[in-house]
Chains A and B, each alone.
Chain A
Amino acid sequence: MRRTLALAVTALALLGAAGCDTTGVTRDRVNAAVAPTFANLYVLQQQLRGRKVAVASVKARADCARGTGPNASTRGAGDDWTCTLTWFNAGPAITASANYQLHVQANGCYTADGDGPSDLNGTPTLTASDGANVTNPLWRFDGCFDLS
């Protein structure tokens, strides 16, 4: 009985994978997850560097997409997602941007890998304002979002 159930689940899974495209990984969800996570970590990084930034003033926006050229897509798990983050750096007039490569897993968790500018996300560690060598929160970061 257990085996029949396992077979049924596997068959259903294969059918679902082959037949219909109902992935829970969509661009809107990725954007909505990456932007606030980046903003929070940016505030943390600036704090480590001795600069006080209010998270509300960062107003980060993420523009993520999957693949390039004819294979470009806006949905589905994969390691070919890229994101461009834009936010307000110092005051409402000056915007800054950064790039990330994303590996979005089918379970709704992603790893963002910094792809420039290098002083923001190019190194795994940074020198804090007190001289200590600490983990750079923006080098790579993880997050999750709800698939349902």
Chain B
Amino acid sequence: MTALDTAGAAVRPAPAAAVRGGTLVVYRWEAAKLVRQVRTRLVVLACVLAPFLFVAALKMQTTTPQDTLFGRWVHDSGFAVPLVVLGFAGQWALPALTSVVAGDIFACEDRHGTWRTILTRSRSRGQIFAGKTLAALTYGVVVTVLLGASSLVAGVLMVGHQPLVGLSGTLLAPGHATALVLASWASVLPPVLAFTGLGLLLSVAGRNGALGIGGPVVIGLLMQLGSMADLPVPVRTLLLTTPFGAWHGLFTDPPFRGPLLWGAAVSAGYLVLCVGGAYALLRRRDITGG
């Protein structure tokens, strides 16, 4: 505890700029670690390649993934591809992809027994928490953007940029369809970040990478299961899986955007609760034991 107190005392009088700088140093260090990890490299590679393999597999057969929105149109318009991928990804893939990093970023210090090492250096707990959290959130955004961009490119290159039939039967011109696809993928960023927060919380609370990675996936699947039941609309709105479908309203005529606003608000609520909870737990934890 003595070592910790000295470290804290050394940081406390520092000016605000230096504190922010400390977070930035931790953030850069965490980002550098992530870039060099085999696991994250494999995930990034999968995000870039999977949509192309998916389209290639579709092109080898005449059947279409009928049970997903826009699945009927994958041979007719390339813009259907990123939307089919989004439909699949929102069910469990995006929570799983982002948790791969978020669920382990704190727990790995427990696994390696390195909490004492990093907390007795010149960075405070708050700075380490902020740096690691920002790194995990950045990773979540990068993975989502890569998967979305790759599936749009795969669709347009391998199927074409024909007009897309929307969810009210209207034809959407290529330019309009591109904008809507990008907006749809952007609309899943809030729930992805919220699931990242959930992974961070479980990573801190469980001190176990398996729980941090698997927990959000299981919670996401349970919510998915719940949302298949005909729940009252307010309850459905509070589930973290609902925002993954908020983009549907963009493709109707006239469009409805209420679910997008609610989805962003609910996701922000989950994110604040989870990250706040994780910080409260980490700040109170007694590290001296190991």
Contact = CB atoms under 8 A, between A and B. Distances in A.
Interface string B67-82: 1011011011000000
Given A16-B231, A135-B75, A2 B202 contact: yes
Contact of B198 (A2, A20, A142): A2
Contact of B230 (A2, A106, A109, A135): A106
A135 B76 contact: yes
A27 B201 CA distance: 42
Chain A contact patch, size range: 35 or more
Interface string A104-126: 01111101000000000000000
Interface string A7-32: 00110110011001011110000000
Contacts of A143: 167-169, 252
B290 interface: no
Contacts, number: 123
Contacts of B179: none
B236 interface: yes
B165 A137 contact: yes
Contacts of B262: 148
13 contacts: A1-B277, A2-B273, A6-B222, A9-B235, A33-B252, A107-B248, A109-B245, A135-B76, A137-B169, A141-B72, A142-B167, A145-B252, A146-B258
Interface of B: 66-67, 69-70, 72-73, 75-76, 165, 167-171, 198, 201-202, 205, 219, 222-223, 226-239, 242, 245, 248-249, 251-253, 256, 258-259, 262, 273-274, 277
